[in-house]
Amino acid sequence: MVYRGRPSRACFLCRNRRIKCDRKSPGCTQCLRMSTPCPGYRDPLDVLFRDESDNVMKKAEAGYKASLMKRSRNGHAADTAVSSFAVRCNPSQPVEHVAFSLFMSSYVPGSHFAYLPSLYAQTGLSSPFFVTLHSVSIALLSHELGEPSLISGARRLYSTALSETNLALASPTTAVQDSTLVSVLLLSLFEAIVWPGLRTPNNWTTHTDGALTLLRLRGTQQFHTDLGRRLFLQVVNIVYVNCIRRNTCLPPHLVELVSAAAKAFEKDDPQLAFTFLTADAIEFLAAVKEGRHGALEMVRAATTLDQRYVVFTKELPRAWQYTELSRQNHDQTSEVLGNTIHLYPWHRVAQLWNSCRMTRVLLNEIIYAQAAFLDGTASSLEDSQSSLQHQAAKNIQDAALDICASVPQFTSSAPTKATVASLLWPLSAVRGASLAPEPARQYAVEQLRYLGRESKFQQAERVAGCGYDIDALQDGLHMFYVS
């Protein structure tokens, strides 16, 4: 990463129009004059340094291929490159260092692993964290360079990391350390990066279950530090997504920990409030799969949950709200569906909104399907069967269009990998929603293909290649959504 000069502190709209912004609170005068909600101001530190991953990648690619040619002439196997090759353009930089720099500059910023730089500086060399981190870094470099031969070295490091992590788990002292839990999460990320097919690898699920076990071992002590709380929410999100895609109930001990966490987090924390709401949705979805409710009960419960999500988003603090902008006022370098785009303070806010939208799609699909079986019982509901189905279909269509409207802001300039990762699964949900508008589904497929190609997420390209045929809950893109 390199210094790029003093960044503009203006709001998004003023930067887009290249006009002076007075940065008044809660919104600038320029937006007020245009009768447009001000989207707020970015943190200058976030843009003070430019991601140089493209340059790093090109230098690594040139050096790597030159090294392979030399090794081929000397009769060495290509898979020895990871352990011994030096980048031609800078012989002092072995591939491990190039991979590490690429990962820390292109994937980590803005991701759920944003804490890695500080943890790296604080963790002892005996921790499995280091070898795990390097296995993930080299796996990512392999994808960036399109060099499968690097994967063999990454897998050897992964095997070592797995053994060292298991040793750490065997000790009551090291098992509860932050670095051990992060090692397990990085093992999951490795599985996501190297997985060559669709759906979800069993090893990813195994690591998810392992992280859940560690939450239980760590107990309420994990809520005493900022990193402990961040790791807790990260694992909870992963487990929640895993339960939703498998339609299984939450583990009782996790429910207890989430309740205990409420005392440690800030009052009215949107992310914690979201976990409580989604826990209820997970229990309902599991009950539906198990056949515990009849059609009438399912429609009532799903409708109630759907309205709770509507209320939740309406009551989010200002910092978690988005503004709307007409496409005429937007940078036309990105594809836009319809006439409106959304502007969010940052991509994590968009991700929270899209998580709500995806859940609402699931709930309204149930309402639409079960309303068809109400027949004479419909009289016990305020709405008729046809009106229930009409409203459910409209809710799905609105959610799909809103997800599509959240994309252009983050694709108008080169997005970070974390940003792209936060968009893939919501787009796939639109792609797979049979009641979503056809233009929205086509847009989702096109964006998946584009983002997958440009940001080297091969899984996204594979999902796009399936068209509408694969269920978004089973396509594997959720692994990047929570990473």
pLDDT of residue 87: 40
pLDDT of residue 42: 58
Which letter does DSSP use for residue 52 in this model? Answer: -
pLDDT of residue 6: 47
pLDDT of residue 68: 37
Q: Under a CB-based contact definition with an 8 Å cutoff, are residues 144 and 138 in contact? A: no
Q: Prior bond to 26 cis, omega within 30? A: yes
Q: Virtual CA dihedral for 224, 227, 231, 237, nearest 10 degrees?
A: 90
For residue 327, give every residue at least 6 positions away whose Cβ sits within 8 Å of its Cβ, in sequence order, or none. Answer: 336, 338, 339, 340, 341
Nearest-angstrom CA–CA distance, 271 and 349: 10
Q: Under a CB-based contact definition with an 8 Å cutoff, are residues 237 and 279 in contact? A: no
pLDDT of residue 66: 44
Q: Under a CB-based contact definition with an 8 Å cutoff, are residues 19 and 30 in contact? A: yes
pLDDT of residue 59: 46
Nearest-angstrom CA–CA distance, 478 and 425: 6
pLDDT of residue 35: 54
Within 10 A of 252 (CB to CB), how many other CB atoms are there? 8
What's the pTM value of the predicted model, to 2 decimals? 0.81
pLDDT of residue 133: 96
| Blockwise average pLDDT, block size 10, the chain, 483 residues | 51 70 79 65 45 46 41 37 39 78 92 94 85 96 89 94 95 95 98 89 95 96 95 97 95 95 86 95 96 93 98 96 84 77 95 98 97 70 82 98 96 87 98 97 97 93 93 94 92
Q: What are the structural domains, with CATH classification, of the chain?
A: 2-47 (4.10.240.10), 51-186 (no CATH), 219-292 (no CATH), 293-483 (no CATH)
Helices 270-290/252-261 angle, 10° precision: 160
pLDDT of residue 263: 86
Nearest-angstrom CA–CA distance, 129 and 179: 6
Nearest-angstrom CA–CA distance, 405 and 339: 9
Helices 178-194/129-145 angle, 10° precision: 20
pLDDT of residue 36: 60
Nearest-angstrom CA–CA distance, 289 and 130: 41
Q: What secondary structure does DSSP assign to 255-307, as a single string? A: HHHHHHHTTTSPTT-HHHHHHHHHHHHHHHHHHHHHT-S-HHHHHHHHHHHHH
Nearest-angstrom CA–CA distance, 97 and 120: 14
pLDDT of residue 41: 62
Nearest-angstrom CA–CA distance, 188 and 132: 10
Nearest-angstrom CA–CA distance, 15 and 3: 20
pLDDT of residue 95: 86
Q: Kindly tell me the number of DSSP H helices and DSSP E strands found in the chain.
A: 22, 4
Question: How large is the greatest C-alpha to C-alpha distance in the chain, in angstroms?
Answer: 82
Q: Under a CB-based contact definition with an 8 Å cutoff, are residues 208 and 238 in contact? A: yes
